[in-house]
Amino acid sequence: MAKVIKEHIHSLLEKGLRQDGRKLLDYRKDISVEYGISPKSAEGSARVRIGETEVVAGVKLGMSTPYPDQQDSGSIMFGAELSPIASDRFEMGPPSIESIEIARVVDRGIRESGAIDFKKLCVKKGEKVWQICVDMYPINDAGNLRDACSLAALAAMKDAKFPEFDKVTGIVNYEKKTKTSLPLTDEPIEVTVLKINNDFVIDPSCEEEEFLDARLTTAFLKDGAICAMQKGGKGALSTEDIGKMVKIASDNVKLLRKAL
């Protein structure tokens, strides 16, 4: 059955078509971002829908000790939980290779962009800093989780507000939020492009992802500058391939930024 589906997808792509009627370089237009969906359980939260793909992200802020080589800087961590509720491909248990990869892709886009001023997360040098924990929960996987998770994580970070912190007692009061947002200086957005045979596809479906040769996720800053890239899949990419894939991603990033 897999061979039949693969041949069908290849046949469609050769004609410039896809299973859902889109052309190869058509991003789904029904993209939405909803902020503040869980104000009581997280300091920031958001829901992103790209077609039938749906991801929820939450931000928790906690007090921590700084890393030895970064005594005056806070830190950030990302996690992606792929559960059976999103797809029958996922299983309960420890993080899968795919969930780890998604978290790393999102982490790279945020971290390499320099979009967070980590020094502003320092409360007391060498002793107390804020740690940002961003968790992503796909609710339905209809393809392109990487772009959806990246957008949801960024939206949740934009929504986040610091809880009240008593410097005398060292206690964080999560019942009271301040009006202070995270120190975001930019908004890196990631776009993923697939190579299947000799064709390039944007905003892939689950079936297209299953039969990819290679994948390239590119993160862009507001001014269009590239701040991070990550390649996936077993197939090789030539310099020409990478150039074409980056151009395709750049042409589509405005759709996601508009939704954000």
**Does the pLDDT value for residue 18 go beyond 90?**
no
Q: What is the mean pLDDT of the chain?
A: 92
In CATH, the number for domain 2-259 is: 3.30.230.70
Rounded mean pLDDT, 175-184: 93
Contacts of 137 (CB under 8 A, 6+ apart): 55, 56, 57, 58, 80, 81, 83
Count of residues making up the chain: 260
**pLDDT for the residue numbered 1:** 52
pLDDT above 90 as % of the chain: 77
Q: Sheet containing 214-220: which strands, arranged edge to edge?
A: 199-202, 189-196, 214-220, 226-232
Nearest one of 181, 88, 85 to 130, comparing CA atoms: 181
**pLDDT for the residue numbered 167:** 84
**pLDDT for the residue numbered 93:** 83
How many CB atoms are located within 10 Å of the residue 127 CB?
12
CB 48 within 8 A of CB 33: yes
Rounded mean pLDDT, 72-87: 94
**pLDDT for the residue numbered 32:** 97
Number of H helices, E strands in the chain: 5, 12
pLDDT above 70 as % of the chain: 99
Read off the pLDDT of residues 135-144 as tens digits, 9 standing for 90 and up: 999 999 999 9
